[in-house]
Amino acid sequence: MLLLFRILAMLVVVPGTYYFIYWVPFSLIQFRGYHWISSLVSLLCAVGVGWYVWKRLGLVPKGLVSSTIVGAVVLGSVGFCAGFFGPMILTPEANQGPLLGIFIIGPAGFLCGGIGGLIYWLIKGRKETRA
């Protein structure tokens, strides 16, 4: 079950990070003749975040900060992908649909994931002290 969850998380986190890095900062920066730079930097960031999430999901988070960060990254990526790709699939004629994922659902998922990681750590910490 844990391996299946890790694979599903990677299928969401890596593309979400790639497209977020590709579209948010590099939509404002012009690389004349060097368009591959934005793709390469986005790919490196996506691989780095994917590696971090894969390692952290393999271990049970021990501290407050690691539980909060893992929850925030996973749920933020899920929210970003849902808000970014959902409007593109459901209403392709709406040109501002992906902004929902960039500015609303992604950050809201990040905050909710951080709060969820905090709650998980508080519940897990109480169980460990009673045992």
Task: List the alpha helices (DSSP H) in 24-105.
Answer: 36-58, 64-90, 99-100
User: pLDDT at position 104, please?
Assistant: 92
Q: What are the residue ranges spanned by the domains of the chain? A: 2-21+43-130
The whole-angstrom separation of Cα 45 and Cα 49 is 6
Q: Which two three-digit tokens encode residue 72? A: 């925030």
User: pLDDT at position 131, please?
Assistant: 53
The whole-angstrom separation of Cα 79 and Cα 122 is 24
Q: Would you write out the chain's pLDDT as a tens digit for each of its 131 residues?
A: 478 878 888 888 898 889 888 888 877 777 777 888 888 999 999 999 999 888 877 776 567 888 888 889 888 888 988 898 888 888 888 888 888 888 999 999 999 999 998 998 888 765 664 55
User: pLDDT at position 127, please?
Assistant: 64
